[in-house]
Amino acid sequence: MSSNKYVTIWIVVFLAIISLLATDFYTPAMPQMVVDLMTQGSMIKLTVTVYILGMAISPLVFGPLSDHVGRRPVLLASAVLGLLGSVFCWLAPNVNLLIIGRLIQGLGLGAGLSLARTIGNDLFEKQEFAQIAGIISLVVAVGPAVAPVIGGYLFVHFGWSSIFFLVTLMIATGGFAVFSYVPETIITRETSAFRLRELFANFRSLIIHRVFISYTVLAGLTISIIILFGVLSTFILQKQYLLTPVEYGWIMMLVTGMSFISRISNIILLRKFTPEYCIVVGLVFMMMGSVMALVGSVLKLHYLLCIVIPSMLIVFGAGTIPSNTVALALGPFRQQGGGSAGAIYGSITMLSVFAVSIIGTFLPASNLILALIYLGLSVSSVIVMLTQTSLKQESSSVLSAE
């Protein structure tokens, strides 16, 4: 299995990448979708919000279920559900059906994203898992970087529905690859019946695990800041700066491409430093970018570079963090309950993104609003990391005293 485990993880990662591309593909088309579907901008942003909600809910069922029936059947079921939702989006004649389709899509693809973490935890030890997660996050970063460019060209030449057709085709391909090549990876299968009481008890034990919950919330905050830029910037850059969908796609590639660079840096840093150190480096860049964005907005420096450069710094910093938090959060649960741990990790992460996306849905898109949310999320991330560091020091002091 030593050679096959790399094939397995990359197939699973392909499905996980789709869950990220499913939103990034159509961000360039959002302003025009408001016109085509005869709706409001908040309703189009809501398609992102309900998708994230679906991604937050599905791991709560599929993750623990994978501990009982195995990873492979649950992964296949999630791919089928994601495929169904994508077909809904592709053929949606109005915004209401599009919202329903996005919710179904999120329910399916959210499970795949959570199981990717769990299966990686099944296959690799903690330190190797951190390195593999870094490499995976590097590849994952490429997708969201190029997705707006691809989506912009598809929208201009074939309309926004062609974007959802592409997503449908990708999910079908990934599902077939899972069916054909992915074996069962679970280490210890739960033999007890799948009972809600035991499910909630297991969730409770994870939620009160201070190391787990701290790093999980931190991941959610940093992922939120990247997704928020995509949701708000499409309206800011196309309405205020008059960029075309294709031009916006290239700007998005420039900004989100910093996540790719940060992941390369993270892989290099992990050779000499701990995951905790890499997280601190990322937080420093997030704070620098947030302060720059706020200063530019307060001084009313409404130049394109005044929003692009701070966003690049923020995305660079945020990009270093999730691949480290996943290893630190899931490491203690490798031998048993990995599906539940991966489920809670994915769910709380996406619930954090969901909460932020609600704010982005109903707030006006402007440079100042974006800068304030940047700063709020960055400061919150620093507080969470400081709290975790303090708890770790307290635990060390107690052990030393004993």
Q: DSSP per residue over 77-141, as a string?
A: HHHHHHHHHHHHHHH-SSHHHHHHHHHHHHHHHHHHHHHHHHHHHHHS-HHHHHHHHHHHHHHHH
| 190 phi and psi angles, rounded to 5 deg | -70, 130
Three-state DSSP string of 8-28: HHHHHHHHHHHHHHHHHCCHH
Predicted local distance difference test score (pLDDT) of residue 118: 77
Mean pLDDT of 30-42: 92
CA distance 350 to 219: 9
12-28 confidence digits (pLDDT tens): 888 888 988 888 899 99
Mean pLDDT of 271-296: 93
Band of residue 153 on the pLDDT scale cut at 50, 70, 90: very high
pTM for the model stands at 0.82
Long-range CB pairs of 330-335 (<8 Å, 24+ gap) are 330/117, 330/118, 330/121, 330/129, 330/212, 331/121, 331/126, 331/129, 332/209, 332/211, 332/212, 333/121, 333/206, 333/212, 334/121, 334/122, 334/125, 334/126, 334/187, 335/187, 335/188
Is residue 133 predicted with pLDDT exceeding 90? no
Band of residue 170 on the pLDDT scale cut at 50, 70, 90: very high
CA distance 289 to 229: 13
Residue 242, number of CB atoms within 10 A of its CB? 8
Predicted local distance difference test score (pLDDT) of residue 1: 46
Q: Percentage of the chain with pLDDT > 90? A: 37
Is residue 397 predicted with pLDDT exceeding 70? no
Task: Name which residue leads in pLDDT, 300 or 106.
Answer: 106
Predicted local distance difference test score (pLDDT) of residue 398: 43
Tokens of 388: 């975790």
**∠ CA(260), CA(135), CA(350), 5° rounding?**
70
Tokens of 65: 């279920």
Q: How far apart are the first and last CA of the chain?
A: 43
193-249 confidence digits (pLDDT tens): 456 666 677 677 777 778 888 888 899 899 888 888 888 898 999 988 999 999 999
Mean pLDDT of 76-104: 94
CA distance 97 to 252: 27
Predicted local distance difference test score (pLDDT) of residue 285: 96
Mean pLDDT of 369-394: 85
Alpha carbons within 13 A on the beta-carbon side of 164 = 24
Predicted local distance difference test score (pLDDT) of residue 192: 58
CA 249 centroid distance within chain: 19
Predicted local distance difference test score (pLDDT) of residue 317: 94
Mean pLDDT of 169-189: 87
Predicted local distance difference test score (pLDDT) of residue 194: 56
316-371 confidence digits (pLDDT tens): 999 889 888 887 887 766 555 555 676 677 778 888 888 878 877 888 888 999 99
Of the listed ranges 60-64, 139-143, 148-152, the one predicted with least confidence: 139-143
Band of residue 308 on the pLDDT scale cut at 50, 70, 90: very high
Predicted local distance difference test score (pLDDT) of residue 193: 46
Spell 74-101 as b/e; 16+ CB within 10 A means b. bbebbbebbbbbbbbbbebeebeebbbb
CA distance 26 to 21: 9
Mean pLDDT of 267-280: 89
Predicted local distance difference test score (pLDDT) of residue 392: 65
**For residue 29, what is the DSSP state?**
G
Predicted local distance difference test score (pLDDT) of residue 399: 40
- Of 230, 229, 235, 224, nearest in space to 40 by CA: 235
Domain 4-182+198-401, what architecture? Answer: Up-down Bundle (1.20)
Is residue 396 predicted with pLDDT exceeding 70? no
Contacting residues for 61 by C-beta, under 8 A, at least 6 apart: 111, 343
